[in-house]
Amino acid sequence: MKTIFYFGSIFIFLGFVSCQPEKPTGEWQTVFNGENLDGWKIAVENPGSITVEDGTIKCNGERSHLQR
């Protein structure tokens, strides 16, 4: 009975350890290049509402969405 308890405890412990998320490296990750919307998906609804001006994403007009 003790053997089953020990193996069960080890199995549960290993399960928790293997589910730990990766530790962040602390480095920034660039998601916008400041020039265009490369790498972004613009919603089909009103795609002209989102533009890039002066290095920023500008939303003007009807509702629209970006997805990374």
pLDDT value for 53: 94
How does DSSP assign the chain, residue by residue?
Answer: -HHHHHHHHHHHHHHHHHTPPPPP-S-------SS--TT-EE-SSSGGGEEEETTEEEE-SS---EE-
pLDDT tens digits for range 16-29: 767 767 777 788 88
Is a pLDDT exceeding 70 seen at residue 37? Answer: yes
**Total length of the chain:** 68
Query: What is the reported pTM?
Result: 0.54
